[in-house]
Amino acid sequence: MKKVKCGFVIALISGVSLPQNAAAMHIAEGLLPFNWAAFWFAVALPFFAWGLYRLNKRSREDLSFKPLVGLMAAVVFIISCLPIPVPFAGTCSHPCGTGISGILIGPAISVVITAAALLIQALFMAHGGLSTLGADIVSMGVMGSFTGFLTFRALRSVKVNMAVAAFVSGLFADWATYFMTSVELAAGIRGEAAFLPLFWKVLIAFIPTQLPIGILEGAMTAGMVVLLYKKRPDLLIKMRVIKAREVAVIGAVLIALTIFFSGVAPAEASKWTGVDEAVIEKIAKEQGREPKEPLINIEQGDLPLFIFLIAGVVGGFAAGYYWRVLIAGKGLPICRGQDEPGPETSGKIRGS
Amino acid sequence: MLLLEYYASDHWLARIDARIKLLVTLIVLVMVLSYRGVGFQLLVAALSLTLIISMKIPWRLFLLRFSEPFLIVLVVFLLKVFFSGQEPLFSFGVLGFQLTGYREGLAEGIAIGSRIMAAISLMAVLVYATPFPELMAALSWLKVPRGFIEILLYAYRYIFVLFEEAMVIYQAQKNRLGYANFRNRLSSFGILTGSLILKAFEQSQTLSTAMVQRGYDGNMPLFQSRPFRSSEIFLSCLVVTVMGILWRI
C-alpha cells in the first residue's frame, strides 16, 4: 500500500516535471526496445498505407489537395509545438491537433499528416524519434484522428450542436492520445514488471497536465470548426464535414427571417409614433398651441429630390477637383506624373 | 517554438552521400535498440557526441536538443529505480513516504537511459550533417512513398510561414489580455488555431494555382542524387562491420 502511495507521489511529480518544455505525447527516441518499436510500426503501417491511398486518390481528382494536406501538416506541427500554460499544474503543455485534422481531412489522411509532422519534429526538435515514430503515429495519428472523427460524426448524426460536437471530439481525441501513449510507454519500459500497475502510474503522471489541456484542445477544436463554419462554410462542404444541404437550410432560414422582418417592420413602424408626436405635440395641443405650417415644407412636391440633386452636383464637383489628393494621398505632391516612381519604389526591384 | 535546424556544411561528414548516412544510421539504430546491455550504447553515445562536438554545434542548440530527452531519461530512470525489482538497494523518506530503490530497477533504468542517449545523439549526428532536401531524397531512394515525401516538403516549407503568422496573432492576443484567465485562454486559442487553418486553406489555394501555372501535374520533382563514390561505400561498410562486431561482443 505504501509502495502504491509513493508511486502516486512520484507519478505526480514526474507528471508535472515531464512536460515542462516537452512534447509529452511523443515517445523519445530509443525509449522503446526494438521489438516494441517494430510492433508499433507494424500496427501503424496499414493505417498509414490507407491514408496514402486516400491521399493519392483525392489528389488525382484535385491538384490542390496535396498542398492543402502539406499545409495541414504544418498546422498540426505548429499546434503541437505551441506551449500553453496549464492551470493548476504550474507547467506548460500543448495540444495534439490531430482531432481537428481528423475532422477536417478525414482520419486516414490525418494519419499521414501526423506522420509528416512527427517526422519533422523528430528530426529537428528531438521530439519523438525515428525508432518511436510507429508508436507516436499510433497514439497521435491513429487514436487521436479516429477518436476525433468518430466522436464528431456520431454526435452530429444525433443532431448535437456543431460547437459541442467539436469540443467533445477534441477532448476525447486528446485524452485517447494520452491513454494510448501510456499503454505504449508502460508496455515498452516495464521489463519484467507487471503491465497494469506501471500503466496506471504513467497514466496518473499525465493527468495533471493532460486533463486541463484536453479541455483546451476541445475548446480549440470547437473554436476552429465554428470559425470555419462562420467564415468559410464552403471549405467545410469541400472537406465533407457538413453537407451543402445544411448550409442551404440555414441560409434559407436566415433569408426568410430577413424578408419577414423587413416586410413586417415598416408596417409595424407606421403604428408607432415618435416622441415628438406622442408627447410634445400632444402636450402642446392640450395647452392650446397648435402646430404651424413650416416655412419650407419639404414633403410637398419633389423638393427632397431637388436638394439631393444639388448636393450630388456640389459633392461631385469637389471630388473631381481634388481627386488627385484623394487618390495619391495627403503627403504626396499633386502634380507628379504617373511615370515617375514614388520614393519607396525607386532603385529597388520589389516582390522578387 | 524552436526548430533546432543546423547544418555543419564544413564538416567532413556533410560531404558524404545522404543515402549512405541514413542507411548507416538506421542500421546502428537497430543495433542500439536491440542490444541487451549498456556498453555498446554508451560507446555509440560517446562516438556520436564526439562527432557532434567536432561539428562545432553552438552550445545553446546542443543543450536545447538534449534537454528534453535528458528530462525523459531522468523520469523513466526514477520510475524504474523505485518501482521495478525485488532486491532493495537503498531507502529514504520523503514527505512522510518511504522510498525504496531496487537493484534491478537501477540496472534497467541505466539500460533505458543509455539507450535513449545513444539513439538521440546518433540521430543528431545525421540531422546536423545532412540538409533537409537531401534527407528527403535519401528517403525517396529508400522507397518511402513519394506522396509522403511531398507532404513533408510542403509542410517543412510552410511551417515557418504559418508559425510567423501564429506568433503575430498570439502576441496581439496576449497584448490585449487574451490569455489573462482560463476562459479567455480557451477563446483566444480557438481563434488563433482557427485563423491558422483558414490561412493554411488560403495559402494552399494560392500555392496550387501558382504551381499549376508552372506546369505542376500532381508530382513534385525531387533532388537528384549523384552516383555513389567507392570511398563512401567502403567507409560505410567498415563502420557497419566494426559496429556489428562490437554489438556481438
DSSP string, chain B: --------TTSGGGGS-HHHHHHHHHHHHHHHHH--SSHHHHHHHHHHHHHHHHTT--HHHHHHHHHHHHHHHHHHHHHHHHHS-SSEEEEEEETTEEEEEEHHHHHHHHHHHHHHHHHHHHHHHHHHTS-HHHHHHHHHHTT--HHHHHHHHHHHHHHHHHHHHHHHHHHHHHHTTTTSSHHHHHHHHHHHHHHHHHHHHHHHHHHHHHHHHTT--S----PPPPPPPHHHHHHHHHHHHHHHHHHH-
Name the residue with higher pLDDT: A254 or A179: A179
User: What range does the domain containing A68 cover?
Assistant: 2-247
Distance from C-alpha of A112 to C-alpha of B146, rounded to nearest angstrom: 12
The pLDDT score that the predictor gives to residue A345 is 40
* Residue A282 domain-assigned (yes or no): no
> What confidence category does residue B177 fall into, taking pLDDT thresholds of 50, 70 and 90?
confident
Distance from C-alpha of A350 to C-alpha of A181, rounded to nearest angstrom: 49
Query: Which of chain A's residues have a Cβ under 8 Å away from the Cβ of B179?
Result: 85
The pLDDT score that the predictor gives to residue B186 is 76
Inform me whether the C-beta atom of residue A131 falls under 8 Å from chain B C-beta atoms. yes
What count of Cα atoms within 13 Å lies in the side-chain half-sphere of residue A254? 6
Name the residue with higher pLDDT: A113 or A95: A113
Give the orientation angle of helix B59-83 with respect to helix B103-128, to 10 degrees: 160
Distance from C-alpha of B20 to C-alpha of B237, rounded to nearest angstrom: 10
Name the residue with higher pLDDT: B186 or A170: A170
* pLDDT of residue A39 exceeding 60: yes
* Residue A121 domain-assigned (yes or no): yes
* pLDDT of residue B39 exceeding 60: yes
Q: Which of A5, A20, A65, A66 to mutate to test the interface with B (most CBs of B within 10 A)?
A: A66
Query: Which of chain A's residues have a Cβ under 8 Å away from the Cβ of B151?
Result: 55, 66, 69-70, 73, 112-113, 116
* pLDDT of residue B56 exceeding 80: yes
Tell me how many domains chain A contains.
1
Distance from C-alpha of A31 to C-alpha of A185, rounded to nearest angstrom: 8
The pLDDT score that the predictor gives to residue A261 is 59
Tell me which residue has cell 471549405. Answer: A235
ipTM score of the complex? Answer: 0.86
- Which has the closest alpha carbon to A104: A219, A246, A250, A232? A232
The CATH number of residue A34's host domain is 1.10.1760.20
Inform me whether the C-beta atom of residue B151 falls under 8 Å from chain A C-beta atoms. yes
- Which has the closest alpha carbon to A79: A189, A199, A213? A213
In chain B, pLDDT over 90 holds for what percent of residues?
21
Name the residue with higher pLDDT: A344 or A177: A177
* pLDDT of residue A323 exceeding 60: yes
What is the 3-class SS of A270-298, one letter each residue? HHCCCHHHHHHHHHHHHCCCCCCCCCCCC
The pLDDT score that the predictor gives to residue B176 is 87
Amino acid at A284: A
Domain range list for chain B: 12-130+227-248, 140-213
Average pLDDT on B170-188 reads 83
Tell me which residue has cell 487553418. Answer: B197
Query: Which of chain A's residues have a Cβ under 8 Å away from the Cβ of B187?
Result: 219, 223
Non-local CB neighbours of A309 within 8 Å, separated by 6+ positions: none
* Residue A305 domain-assigned (yes or no): no
Inter-residue contact A66 to B151 (CB < 8 Å): yes
